[in-house]
Structure 1
Amino acid sequence: MDLTTTLYREAFPHAARAIRRLGGDLDTARDLFHDAMIIYLEKSRSGHLQLDSSPVAYLVGITKILWLKTKRQQPRNETLDYLAHFISIPEDFYTHPEEEPLLEQLKAAGEKCLQLLQAFYYENMNMREIAETFDYSSPHSATVQKYKCLEKVRKSFSKTPCYAETIA
């Protein structure tokens, strides 16, 4: 058996194990290890190989470096599903209030205010249509009433804990 085959048999299992620990598979480990072997052989034949450790450690190290380079070049739009078993979100992390705080304040302003604001903001009615629908004397009266409703809601909402959290 020649030196290359012996080195391959000794070093490849270590390199494959290292790549598997880093998230790779056997085929990837094999390809990267072959590249590492070529680098090792070319450097040793050219006389530029300076080993501070064993040839096995050198080959495993080069394989790891090649793995990291390929991972760095891959796009980073992977899902985070693999992290699911590492982390967990406590069940009480998300609190679900019975109703939205703003909706509660709108309801507290009164049914007429709620209907007026709904007509203006959701049904896109203009002030003339609102004045006719809600029996106001003029569009100006409807505008004043809309302003009063908004102020009522703002004042009521500013006293809620949600408001304090929002502006903090």
Structure 2
Amino acid sequence: MDWITALYRDAFPHAARIVRQLGGDPETARDFFHDAMIIYLEKSRNGTLQVEVSPRAYLLGITKILWLKQHHNRYVPLSMAEHNLSIPADFYTPPQHQPLLERLKSAGAKCMQLLQAFYYDRLNMTEIAEQFRYSSPHSATVQKHKCLEKVRDQVQKTEVYEETVA
């Protein structure tokens, strides 16, 4: 048995399965696979074959491309298929937890303002110490850490956190 016959016997069943999955029949699969074999053999003879995968994978890819090229216009436009589409009622359930903003608010207005100044306004700790009248940038850093701990504690008490960590 020569290598072409071995390659054919190895690859054709897979190509037929691909074409069948795409809606084709065995005869169509055979036609496209024969065309793929011819392309493969001509390119290998001409020296233009640039295969980075196995010969079988190359043939399967070419068969699929040939089938798709011929059948690309058989797809039904979405507007015509709209009545066949349905989204199950349980596909999306809105989250049952409070958003992060609510957690930030629960830490207190002063903490919210401090965290906003640091993260949103991008003020450095010296500027925050001056703005919030802390004795030093270190005091502002400590207060920012305490605010973050309050928020972290609130988040850790949620069901979503428990489900994520578990």
Q: What TM-score do the two structures reach when normalised by structure 1?
A: 0.50
Q: Flag the 1:71–1:101 CA change in 2: closer, same or farther, 3 A.
A: same
CA distance in structure 2 between the partners assigned to 1:99 and 1:105 by the alignment: 10
Q: Aligned residues: percent identity?
A: 60
After superposition, the CA RMSD in angstroms is: 4.5
CA distance in structure 2 between the partners assigned to 1:153 and 1:128 by the alignment: 23
Larger of the two Rg values belongs to structure: 1
Runs (5+) with no aligned partner, structure 2: 1-18, 39-58, 69-76
Q: Secondary structure at the match of 2:157?
A: coil
Out of 119, 126, 134, which is 1:136 matched to?
Answer: 134
Q: Flag the 1:32–1:164 CA change in 2: closer, same or farther, 3 A.
A: same
Runs (5+) with no aligned partner, structure 1: 1-18, 40-65, 76-80
1:71 aligns with 2:64: yes
Q: Flag the 1:85–1:32 CA change in 2: closer, same or farther, 3 A.
A: farther
CA distance in structure 1 between the partners assigned to 2:108 and 2:67 by the alignment: 58
8 Å contact 2:97–2:158 — kept in the other structure? no
- Structure 2 counterpart of 1:23, one-letter code: G
Q: Flag the 1:155–1:72 CA change in 2: closer, same or farther, 3 A.
A: same
Following superposition, the deviation at residue 166 of structure 1 comes to 1.9
Out of 143, 152, 158, which is 2:150 matched to?
Answer: 152
1:23 aligns with 2:16: no
Following superposition, the deviation at residue 23 of structure 1 comes to 3.2
Q: What TM-score do the two structures reach when normalised by structure 2?
A: 0.51
Please list the CA deviations of residues 53-73 of structure 1 after superposition, one character each: whole Å capped at 9, or x if unmatched.
xxxxxxxxxxxxx88861189
Alignment length (residue pairs): 113
Paired position in structure 2 for 1:121: 119
Please list the CA deviations of residues 30-75 of structure 1 after superposition, one character each: whole Å capped at 9, or x if unmatched.
9927958xx9xxxxxxxxxxxxxxxxxxxxxxxxxx8886118999
Paired position in structure 2 for 1:162: 160
* Greater per-residue helix proportion: 2
